[in-house]
Structure 1
Amino acid sequence: MRMVKVEASVSLRRDLDTGTEMQRDAVDNIITQVIEQGDHALYTLTKTLDGAELDQLRVTEAEMEAAYAQMDEELIGALREAMTNIRDFHQRQLRQSWLTTKEDGTILGQQITALDSVGVYVPGGKAAYPSSIMMNVIPAQVAGVKRIVMVSPPQADGSLPAGVLVTASELGVEEIYKVGGAQAVAALAYGTESITPVDKITGPGNIYVALAKRAVFGKVDIDMIAGPSEIVVLADETGDPGYIAADLLSQAEHDERASAVLVTTSNELAEQVSVEVEKQLALLPRKDIAAASIRDYGVIYVARDIAEAIHVVNELAPEHLELLTKEPMNLVGKIRHAGAIFVGSYSSEPVGDYFAGPNHVLPTNGTARFSSPLNVDDFIKKSSIIAYSKEALEANGSKISALARLEGLEAHARAIDIRLEGNK
């Protein structure tokens, strides 16, 4: 890993991948096909792009039963425990509608309403991502979303991985379609004969999925355009180099553009971690991917002291931050910008990915400076309630009219004046 001293600067930020012109054109073309041809486009594109010839788009009960037959009961039990943890955490985020009454009889408030429908995109192909399903579906359910639609690209034989189907079934998701890529995003946004459109699309995907989400934003809402995964470990001389190296590599194996950074106050630990990373890297099944990430985006930053280290972390605003210091909880209040903060030696990043409860859909590329993890609020909307009393309008109407005329909006002013005149 590259080692830099305090005089150097370090950044996680990479140019947002807006795709090549060819990729953007391809996505625009796919969206147009789906709008114009509906299901026919989905079948054709799935055969062309995924190599799967489908008889039907929607997952059947028979496919669900076959998936359960392939799954180990102990693994299903682990999934259920994770679901409970994730649901319990998100339940605490629920907001309530509220009303307040003033002395003049005016009633003001806010009404919380769950979205009617949400589409969850689950990456597919060779890999299966049950954790992605849990992290997107559960907060939507807690918020009160009634219709949750799941889409995922099929394997070559036209099936979805057993882990994906069982997880969706355990969560009660019944509307599941075997379609992926930009065509799935277009179908969720615009609808086809088989898929009724939704109000919001969440979930990660490749560059074509990201470009499609960007293109349909405005027709529907989206969660975020996520960049490559990031981890920053803040450690002092008490940090375990083996733990730190393993945690850095846990993100490096995601993507060649993933970023793994150690910020430390100890030169000795920096050297030890550098050696340990190379040792563990050689044993990884995905070592080529991880090696590219470490080579291009792996950094060890040696800070003068803990104050300097905290400043660097807040400048980076990482997706994942681990605090591996002598008294890590004492530093939590000093961290202003991070998607998720993992405190102590036994809070390895994968604990949050799969089991602890907080959402693993996190802001990347420095957007933790102004963004939050996916949460229940992402699946609700708020309506303001204004019930103005006669007394309040008589007391404040002339002020309202004056403000309207200040903006040159005479009709606004007269809408107030006519009421004031009628009460004389």
Structure 2
Amino acid sequence: MNLQVYVSEILDDIRSNGISALKKYSQQFDNYKGPFELEEKEWNIDDEILQEDKNIIDRIIKRLENYHSKQIKEDITYTNEYGSMYGLIKRPINRIGIYVPGGRPLPSSLLMVAIPAKIAGVKDMIITSSPKNGKINPYILYIAKKLNIKEVYKIGGIQAIGAMAYGIGMKKVDKIFGPGNQYVNEAKRQVFGDVGIDSLAGPSEICLIADETANKEYVLNDLLSQLEHGLESKSFLLTTSKQLYDYCDKNRIERYLFDTLDECAEKANEIAPEHLEIITREPEKIVPLIQNAGAVYLGEYTPVPAADYFLGVNHVLPTGKAARFSSVLNVSDFMKEMTIAKISKEELLTERYLGIRMAEIEGMNQHKKSMEVRK
């Protein structure tokens, strides 16, 4: 059975049979039989985390809040020569679901989603995550408490996506965020329309442009860092240095040797990587040449892992060449934009001939009458 059919059958079962199907798949995939929503006593995890770790998380939260708070944009309204008002107004999404993988818990991913959501004004956030030995990772719960997320559910995998999308065992969400494996990705793809989704994340990628000035140890370790995510992760070196090219001759690192940095940039745009590091004599001069990348990190002291964890920039990025048309997760992903207009009588009567003729072209007679009937 192929992946699409497999996931579809599970989602259909959950939608049709509700909580009984959810319990069945939780027992099958998570080896869990208990209640889904976290009980009050399970929030008592303070003794499970070192105070030093709490301080680190608190500091990272402040850095993320500082960066993302700069992304808030005001509503736009203006008045034209007729005295009519036009604009674009923004509202936060009402309720979001955050999927946090439970196999290898990723508290940093929860931070990257929940903080811009909070800054956008989302009031209602929930977390779903696979329980391990019946429990949710304490770091995930500590972050949830810090960010005032009150609903956490011990559900993972396809069944978690179905539960959030269809409102099984919980109130339905409006949009789902968070990374997952191929089953979670496919489930998100299939529930799109019932709910919104952030993206379909693929294997992690790093592309690194470097010249002869780059520290070879820095370059090699940065290239290897993203391969740690899994066997499907990708690592590209684009360089003008034969010495560096030879030094990075390691398994799974794809190397390209070019005559100029302009050629390196051209190849980077073709790859459209999730992460792009530029370690050259003057990295800022390469930036105008870059069109396709999820994130760009400049200089030898801006490694991808620093951005993954503590710089404050978001690490939820487009993968699989999606940087050609997609963007880094940001505050606007948690908001909706609505046009607003209040047209004066003078403008409608003066300019309606434009709409009347377009209605005639399209054969929409009632559209035409709606504009013509006004006096």
Normalising by the residue count of structure 1, what TM-score does the alignment of the two structures yield?
A: 0.86
> Which of 216, 220, 243 is matched with 1:241 structurally?
216
State the partner residue of 1:143: 120
Q: Secondary structure at the match of 1:374?
A: coil
How many pairs are equivalent? 375
Q: Is the 8 A contact 1:242 1:273 kept in 2?
A: no
- Match for 1:312 among 259, 267, 276? 267
Q: CA deviation at 1:211?
A: 0.7
What corresponds to 2:37 in structure 1?
Answer: 58
Find the residue that maps to 2:373 and give its secondary structure: helix
Offset, 1:39: 2.2
**Correspondence for 1:129 among 103, 106, 116:** 106
Partner residue in 1 for 2:68: 90
**Amino acid paired to 1:330:** K
Structure 2: 5+ residue stretches without partners? none
Decide which of 56, 65, 73 is 2:51's aligned counterpart: 73
Output the amino acid matched with 1:254.
H
d(CA) in 2 for partners of 1:383, 1:328: 39
Aligned counterparts of 2:354 and 2:280: Cα–Cα separation in 1: 58
Deviation at 1:319, TM superposition (A): 0.4
Q: Secondary structure at the match of 2:302?
A: coil
Instruction: Provide, for residues 341-371 of structure 1, a one-character-per-residue CA deviation record: whole Å limited to 9, x for no partner.
Output: 1111111111110111111010111111111
Aligned to 1:281: none
CA contact (8 A) 2:266 2:289 kept: no
Q: Which amino acid aligns with 2:119?
A: V
**Residue 41, structure 1, aligned to residue 18, structure 2:** no
Q: Distance in 2 between matches of 1:207 and 1:407?
A: 44
Whether 1:154 aligns to 2:137 is no
Q: How far apart are the structure 2 equivalents of 1:319 and 1:120?
A: 21
Question: Which amino acid in structure 2 is aligned with residue 107 of structure 1?
Answer: M
Q: Please show how residues 9-408 of structure 1 align to structure 2 within 5 Å.
A: 21-54=1-34, 56-65=35-44, 67-125=45-103, 127-155=104-132, 157-192=133-168, 194-274=169-249, 277=250, 294=252, 298-408=253-363
Letter in 1 for 2:167: G
Q: Which moved more, 1:217-226 or 1:331-340?
A: 331-340
TM-score (norm 2): 0.97
Judge which range, 250-259 or 332-341, deviates more. 332-341
* Structure 1 unpaired stretches of 5+: 1-20, 278-290
- Post-superposition offset of 1:36: 2.2
Hey, what's the Cα distance between the residues in 2 that align with 1:167 and 1:400? Answer: 53
* Distance in structure 1 (CA, Å) of the matches to 2:314 and 2:75: 24
**Cα deviations by residue, 1:194-252 (Å, 9 ceiling, x for unpaired):** 31001100101111101110000011110111111000110001111111111111111
Q: Secondary structure at the match of 2:2?
A: helix
The Cα of 1:398 is off from its aligned counterpart by 2.2
Inter-partner Cα distance in structure 2 for 1:253 and 1:182 = 25
Query: Could you tell me whether the CA contact under 8 Å between 1:320 and 1:349 is conserved in 2?
Result: yes
Are 1:101 and 1:108, in contact at CA under 8 Å, matched by a contact in 2?
yes
Q: How far apart, CA to CA, are the structure 2 residues paired with 1:341 and 1:227?
A: 18
User: 1:46-101 deviations in whole A, cap 9, x for unaligned?
Assistant: 111111222x1111232121x22110111111111111111111111112212111
- Write the distance in 2 (CA, Å) between the matches of 1:329 and 1:217: 39
Runs of 4+ in structure 1 off by over 4 angstroms are none
Map Cα deviations across residues 274-305 of structure 1 (whole Å, 9 max, x no partner).
Answer: 2xx4xxxxxxxxxxxxx6xx1xxx21100111
* Cα displacement (A) at 1:399: 2.5
For residues 368 and 137 of structure 2, what CA distance do their matches in structure 1 show?
A: 62
After superposition, give the CA deviation of every residue in 1:1-34 in whole Å (9 maximum; x if it has no partner): xxxxxxxxxxxxxxxxxxxx43222211221222
Q: Which is further off, 37-46 or 174-183?
A: 37-46
SS class of match (1:160) = coil
Cα pair 2:273 2:323 within 8 Å, conserved? yes
SS where residue 300 of structure 1 aligns? strand
The one-letter code matched in structure 1 to 2:210 is A
Aligned-pair RMSD on alpha carbons?
1.2
